[in-house]
Amino acid sequence: MRWLEKRWYQPDLSIWLLWPLTLVFWCLSALRRWLYRAGIKHVVKLEVPVIVVGNISVGGTGKTPLVIRLCQWLKQQGYHPGVVSRGYGGKAPAYPFSVTADSDPALVGDEPVLIRHHLGCPLVVDPDRVRGARYLIDQNKCNVIVCDDGLQHYRLGRDVEILVMDGERRLGNQHLLPMGPLREGLWRLKTVDFVVVNGGVARSGEHLMALEPGQLVNVKYPSQTQSISELKKPAIALAGIGNPERFFKLLDKRQVKLKQRLVFADHYPFKAGDIPEDLVLMTEKDAVKCRSFASSQWWYLPVSAKLTEQFKQQLLDKIDGI
Protein backbone atom coordinates (compact mmCIF):
# COMPACT_ATOMS: atom_id res chain seq x y z
CA MET A 1 0.00 0.00 0.00
CA ARG A 2 2.81 2.44 0.82
CA TRP A 3 4.39 1.65 -2.55
CA LEU A 4 1.17 2.55 -4.32
CA GLU A 5 0.57 5.64 -2.21
CA LYS A 6 3.95 7.11 -3.17
CA ARG A 7 2.98 6.89 -6.82
CA TRP A 8 -0.23 8.77 -6.17
CA TYR A 9 1.73 11.85 -5.15
CA GLN A 10 4.53 11.88 -7.73
CA PRO A 11 4.60 11.49 -11.54
CA ASP A 12 4.68 7.82 -12.47
CA LEU A 13 3.40 6.44 -15.77
CA SER A 14 3.26 2.90 -14.38
CA ILE A 15 0.09 3.91 -12.53
CA TRP A 16 -1.79 3.58 -15.85
CA LEU A 17 -1.47 -0.19 -15.56
CA LEU A 18 -4.27 0.11 -13.00
CA TRP A 19 -6.61 1.93 -15.40
CA PRO A 20 -8.96 -1.06 -15.92
CA LEU A 21 -9.51 -1.33 -12.17
CA THR A 22 -10.13 2.40 -11.92
CA LEU A 23 -12.73 2.13 -14.68
CA VAL A 24 -14.53 -0.58 -12.70
CA PHE A 25 -14.39 1.59 -9.57
CA TRP A 26 -15.82 4.56 -11.49
CA CYS A 27 -18.67 2.49 -12.92
CA LEU A 28 -19.67 1.11 -9.53
CA SER A 29 -19.49 4.54 -7.88
CA ALA A 30 -21.49 6.19 -10.66
CA LEU A 31 -24.13 3.45 -10.50
CA ARG A 32 -24.50 3.87 -6.76
CA ARG A 33 -24.99 7.65 -7.07
CA TRP A 34 -27.52 7.15 -9.89
CA LEU A 35 -29.55 4.76 -7.75
CA TYR A 36 -29.97 7.51 -5.15
CA ARG A 37 -30.76 10.20 -7.72
CA ALA A 38 -33.34 7.94 -9.35
CA GLY A 39 -34.99 7.23 -6.01
CA ILE A 40 -34.30 3.49 -6.17
CA LYS A 41 -32.16 3.90 -3.07
CA HIS A 42 -33.63 6.31 -0.55
CA VAL A 43 -32.01 9.21 1.28
CA VAL A 44 -33.24 9.53 4.87
CA LYS A 45 -33.76 13.13 6.04
CA LEU A 46 -33.64 13.62 9.81
CA GLU A 47 -35.48 16.24 11.83
CA VAL A 48 -32.32 17.98 13.09
CA PRO A 49 -29.40 19.52 11.14
CA VAL A 50 -26.81 16.99 9.98
CA ILE A 51 -23.20 18.03 9.35
CA VAL A 52 -21.01 15.54 7.49
CA VAL A 53 -17.24 15.94 7.83
CA GLY A 54 -15.31 13.82 5.36
CA ASN A 55 -12.92 13.68 2.43
CA ILE A 56 -12.69 12.39 -1.10
CA SER A 57 -9.13 11.10 -0.79
CA VAL A 58 -7.85 8.14 1.20
CA GLY A 59 -5.30 8.71 3.94
CA GLY A 60 -5.27 11.17 6.80
CA THR A 61 -6.52 14.68 6.11
CA GLY A 62 -7.20 15.95 9.63
CA LYS A 63 -10.95 15.43 9.87
CA THR A 64 -10.82 14.02 13.43
CA PRO A 65 -9.41 17.22 15.02
CA LEU A 66 -11.96 19.18 12.98
CA VAL A 67 -14.85 17.07 14.30
CA ILE A 68 -13.64 17.67 17.86
CA ARG A 69 -13.32 21.43 17.38
CA LEU A 70 -16.69 21.68 15.63
CA CYS A 71 -18.50 19.95 18.48
CA GLN A 72 -16.77 22.13 21.07
CA TRP A 73 -17.76 25.22 19.10
CA LEU A 74 -21.35 24.05 18.59
CA LYS A 75 -21.74 23.60 22.35
CA GLN A 76 -20.48 27.16 22.82
CA GLN A 77 -23.22 28.31 20.43
CA GLY A 78 -25.89 26.65 22.57
CA TYR A 79 -26.36 23.45 20.56
CA HIS A 80 -26.40 19.91 21.96
CA PRO A 81 -24.36 18.01 19.35
CA GLY A 82 -23.96 14.27 18.96
CA VAL A 83 -21.38 12.43 16.89
CA VAL A 84 -21.98 9.34 14.77
CA SER A 85 -19.07 7.36 13.37
CA ARG A 86 -18.70 4.12 11.50
CA GLY A 87 -16.09 2.98 14.02
CA TYR A 88 -13.60 1.75 11.46
CA GLY A 89 -11.81 -1.42 12.58
CA GLY A 90 -14.06 -1.92 15.59
CA LYS A 91 -16.23 -4.95 16.28
CA ALA A 92 -18.86 -3.82 18.76
CA PRO A 93 -21.22 -6.53 20.10
CA ALA A 94 -24.29 -4.54 18.98
CA TYR A 95 -25.19 -1.31 17.22
CA PRO A 96 -25.70 1.54 17.87
CA PHE A 97 -22.92 1.38 20.43
CA SER A 98 -22.30 4.30 22.79
CA VAL A 99 -18.65 5.25 23.16
CA THR A 100 -16.99 6.48 26.34
CA ALA A 101 -13.46 7.76 26.91
CA ASP A 102 -12.62 4.32 28.35
CA SER A 103 -14.08 2.23 25.53
CA ASP A 104 -11.89 -0.45 23.98
CA PRO A 105 -10.61 0.74 20.55
CA ALA A 106 -10.79 -2.88 19.39
CA LEU A 107 -14.58 -2.67 19.83
CA VAL A 108 -15.33 0.85 18.60
CA GLY A 109 -12.29 1.98 16.62
CA ASP A 110 -9.43 4.29 17.58
CA GLU A 111 -10.80 7.60 16.25
CA PRO A 112 -14.13 7.44 18.17
CA VAL A 113 -12.25 6.85 21.44
CA LEU A 114 -9.95 9.77 20.66
CA ILE A 115 -12.92 12.04 19.89
CA ARG A 116 -14.84 10.97 22.99
CA HIS A 117 -11.77 11.66 25.15
CA HIS A 118 -12.06 15.35 24.23
CA LEU A 119 -15.83 15.76 24.17
CA GLY A 120 -18.59 15.60 26.72
CA CYS A 121 -21.24 15.12 24.06
CA PRO A 122 -22.70 11.73 23.10
CA LEU A 123 -20.96 9.60 20.47
CA VAL A 124 -22.14 6.35 18.92
CA VAL A 125 -20.59 4.03 16.37
CA ASP A 126 -22.78 2.34 13.82
CA PRO A 127 -22.11 1.18 10.24
CA ASP A 128 -25.69 2.33 9.59
CA ARG A 129 -25.21 6.02 10.23
CA VAL A 130 -28.92 6.77 9.90
CA ARG A 131 -29.70 4.36 12.73
CA GLY A 132 -26.87 5.79 14.83
CA ALA A 133 -28.00 9.37 14.26
CA ARG A 134 -31.60 8.53 15.18
CA TYR A 135 -30.36 6.94 18.40
CA LEU A 136 -28.56 10.17 19.30
CA ILE A 137 -31.71 12.17 18.66
CA ASP A 138 -34.12 9.83 20.46
CA GLN A 139 -31.97 8.74 23.41
CA ASN A 140 -29.72 11.77 23.94
CA LYS A 141 -31.94 14.60 22.66
CA CYS A 142 -29.20 15.88 20.35
CA ASN A 143 -30.33 18.80 18.20
CA VAL A 144 -27.48 18.66 15.70
CA ILE A 145 -25.64 15.60 14.37
CA VAL A 146 -21.99 15.61 13.30
CA CYS A 147 -21.09 12.64 11.12
CA ASP A 148 -17.43 11.69 11.38
CA ASP A 149 -16.58 10.67 7.82
CA GLY A 150 -19.40 9.45 5.59
CA LEU A 151 -19.24 11.93 2.72
CA GLN A 152 -19.98 8.97 0.44
CA HIS A 153 -22.65 7.50 2.78
CA TYR A 154 -25.48 9.00 0.72
CA ARG A 155 -28.30 7.27 2.59
CA LEU A 156 -27.82 9.76 5.43
CA GLY A 157 -29.35 13.04 4.34
CA ARG A 158 -27.17 16.00 5.18
CA ASP A 159 -27.67 19.74 5.51
CA VAL A 160 -23.98 20.68 5.52
CA GLU A 161 -21.05 18.92 3.86
CA ILE A 162 -17.50 19.79 4.94
CA LEU A 163 -14.70 18.35 2.84
CA VAL A 164 -11.29 18.21 4.53
CA MET A 165 -8.17 18.24 2.37
CA ASP A 166 -4.48 17.91 3.15
CA GLY A 167 -3.07 21.31 2.25
CA GLU A 168 0.32 19.95 1.20
CA ARG A 169 -0.52 16.71 -0.60
CA ARG A 170 -3.92 18.01 -1.72
CA LEU A 171 -5.47 15.49 -4.16
CA GLY A 172 -2.30 13.92 -5.53
CA ASN A 173 -2.47 12.85 -9.17
CA GLN A 174 -6.26 13.49 -9.09
CA HIS A 175 -7.13 9.98 -10.31
CA LEU A 176 -9.76 7.71 -8.81
CA LEU A 177 -8.78 4.58 -6.88
CA PRO A 178 -6.62 2.60 -7.39
CA MET A 179 -4.78 4.79 -9.92
CA GLY A 180 -4.97 7.67 -7.49
CA PRO A 181 -6.15 8.49 -3.98
CA LEU A 182 -9.67 9.72 -4.85
CA ARG A 183 -12.91 8.09 -3.77
CA GLU A 184 -14.84 10.58 -5.90
CA GLY A 185 -13.89 12.88 -8.74
CA LEU A 186 -12.89 16.54 -8.64
CA TRP A 187 -16.50 17.49 -9.40
CA ARG A 188 -17.25 16.76 -5.73
CA LEU A 189 -15.38 19.90 -4.68
CA LYS A 190 -18.13 21.99 -6.29
CA THR A 191 -21.02 20.23 -4.55
CA VAL A 192 -19.91 20.45 -0.90
CA ASP A 193 -20.70 23.47 1.27
CA PHE A 194 -17.19 24.00 2.63
CA VAL A 195 -13.68 22.93 1.66
CA VAL A 196 -11.35 23.06 4.69
CA VAL A 197 -7.63 22.84 3.96
CA ASN A 198 -5.41 21.38 6.67
CA GLY A 199 -2.13 23.34 6.46
CA GLY A 200 -0.49 24.66 3.34
CA VAL A 201 -2.15 27.55 1.52
CA ALA A 202 -5.89 27.91 1.07
CA ARG A 203 -7.02 28.73 -2.46
CA SER A 204 -10.02 30.79 -3.50
CA GLY A 205 -13.17 29.53 -1.78
CA GLU A 206 -11.27 27.33 0.67
CA HIS A 207 -10.96 27.76 4.44
CA LEU A 208 -7.63 27.23 6.17
CA MET A 209 -7.31 25.03 9.26
CA ALA A 210 -4.18 24.82 11.39
CA LEU A 211 -3.31 22.00 13.77
CA GLU A 212 -1.69 23.33 16.93
CA PRO A 213 0.27 20.89 19.13
CA GLY A 214 -0.12 20.91 22.88
CA GLN A 215 1.97 19.53 25.72
CA LEU A 216 3.35 16.00 25.51
CA VAL A 217 1.19 13.62 27.56
CA ASN A 218 2.45 10.40 29.12
CA VAL A 219 0.60 7.41 27.67
CA LYS A 220 0.75 5.39 30.91
CA TYR A 221 0.26 8.29 33.32
CA PRO A 222 -1.92 10.87 31.50
CA SER A 223 -1.69 13.33 34.39
CA GLN A 224 2.01 13.77 33.54
CA THR A 225 2.79 16.33 30.85
CA GLN A 226 5.88 18.06 29.56
CA SER A 227 6.87 20.50 26.88
CA ILE A 228 8.58 19.22 23.74
CA SER A 229 11.47 21.52 24.56
CA GLU A 230 12.03 19.62 27.84
CA LEU A 231 13.09 16.40 26.08
CA LYS A 232 16.62 15.55 27.15
CA LYS A 233 17.58 12.85 24.65
CA PRO A 234 16.80 11.73 21.09
CA ALA A 235 13.48 9.94 20.73
CA ILE A 236 11.84 7.35 18.52
CA ALA A 237 8.89 8.75 16.59
CA LEU A 238 6.00 6.40 15.84
CA ALA A 239 2.94 6.91 13.65
CA GLY A 240 0.19 4.57 12.54
CA ILE A 241 -1.99 7.15 10.79
CA GLY A 242 -3.05 7.94 7.24
CA ASN A 243 -0.21 10.39 6.64
CA PRO A 244 2.69 9.65 9.03
CA GLU A 245 4.91 12.30 7.42
CA ARG A 246 2.70 15.04 8.81
CA PHE A 247 3.52 13.91 12.36
CA PHE A 248 7.24 13.61 11.63
CA LYS A 249 7.32 17.06 10.03
CA LEU A 250 5.57 18.49 13.07
CA LEU A 251 8.33 17.10 15.30
CA ASP A 252 11.03 18.35 12.92
CA LYS A 253 9.48 21.81 12.97
CA ARG A 254 9.80 21.82 16.76
CA GLN A 255 13.45 20.69 16.42
CA VAL A 256 12.91 17.37 18.17
CA LYS A 257 15.95 15.11 17.82
CA LEU A 258 14.87 11.74 16.43
CA LYS A 259 16.98 8.61 16.20
CA GLN A 260 14.34 6.49 14.46
CA ARG A 261 11.00 6.85 12.69
CA LEU A 262 8.58 3.92 12.82
CA VAL A 263 5.67 3.78 10.38
CA PHE A 264 2.71 1.45 10.89
CA ALA A 265 -0.44 1.02 8.83
CA ASP A 266 -3.37 3.33 9.51
CA HIS A 267 -5.54 1.99 12.37
CA TYR A 268 -2.85 -0.59 13.22
CA PRO A 269 -3.90 -2.67 16.28
CA PHE A 270 -0.83 -2.25 18.48
CA LYS A 271 0.11 -4.95 20.94
CA ALA A 272 2.85 -5.43 23.52
CA GLY A 273 6.16 -5.94 21.78
CA ASP A 274 5.41 -3.71 18.78
CA ILE A 275 6.96 -0.65 20.42
CA PRO A 276 10.50 -0.37 21.87
CA GLU A 277 11.09 0.16 25.58
CA ASP A 278 12.61 3.57 24.92
CA LEU A 279 11.66 7.22 24.72
CA VAL A 280 8.85 7.11 22.15
CA LEU A 281 6.72 9.93 20.77
CA MET A 282 3.45 8.99 19.10
CA THR A 283 0.18 10.50 17.93
CA GLU A 284 -2.84 10.58 20.22
CA LYS A 285 -4.68 8.28 17.82
CA ASP A 286 -1.98 5.65 18.34
CA ALA A 287 -1.83 6.25 22.09
CA VAL A 288 -5.46 5.26 22.71
CA LYS A 289 -4.58 1.73 21.56
CA CYS A 290 -1.49 1.45 23.77
CA ARG A 291 -2.84 2.48 27.17
CA SER A 292 -3.24 -1.04 28.55
CA PHE A 293 0.44 -1.98 28.05
CA ALA A 294 2.13 1.41 27.90
CA SER A 295 5.63 2.16 29.15
CA SER A 296 6.27 5.23 31.26
CA GLN A 297 8.70 6.33 28.53
CA TRP A 298 5.97 6.67 25.90
CA TRP A 299 4.43 10.08 25.21
CA TYR A 300 1.83 11.34 22.79
CA LEU A 301 1.43 14.77 21.22
CA PRO A 302 -2.16 16.02 21.06
CA VAL A 303 -3.14 18.53 18.40
CA SER A 304 -6.12 20.88 18.22
CA ALA A 305 -7.73 22.45 15.18
CA LYS A 306 -7.75 26.21 14.78
CA LEU A 307 -10.49 27.51 12.48
CA THR A 308 -10.96 30.93 10.91
CA GLU A 309 -13.68 33.25 12.19
CA GLN A 310 -15.02 33.55 8.64
CA PHE A 311 -15.56 29.79 8.41
CA LYS A 312 -17.28 29.62 11.80
CA GLN A 313 -19.61 32.51 10.98
CA GLN A 314 -20.55 31.09 7.58
CA LEU A 315 -21.20 27.68 9.15
CA LEU A 316 -23.33 29.23 11.90
CA ASP A 317 -25.37 31.14 9.33
CA LYS A 318 -25.89 27.92 7.39
CA ILE A 319 -27.05 25.95 10.46
CA ASP A 320 -29.29 28.72 11.81
CA GLY A 321 -30.94 28.93 8.40
CA ILE A 322 -31.99 25.28 8.38
Tell me the binding residues: 57-64
208 forms bridges with which residues in the sheet?
197
SS3 state at 162:
strand
Which one, of 195, 188, 124, lies nearest residue 152 by Cα?
188
Cα–Cα distance for residue pair 153/39, rounded to 1 Å: 15
Which one, of 20, 17, 32, 6, lies nearest residue 184 by Cα?
32
Please, are residues 53 and 148 in contact by the beta-carbon 8 Å criterion?
yes
- Annotated binding site for ATP, which residues? 57-64
84 forms bridges with which residues in the sheet?
124, 147
Peptide bond before residue 213 is cis, with ω within 30 degrees of 0: no
Cα–Cα distance for residue pair 90/107, rounded to 1 Å: 4
Query: Can you give the length of the chain in residues?
Result: 322
Cα–Cα distance for residue pair 289/281, rounded to 1 Å: 14
SS3 state at 308:
coil
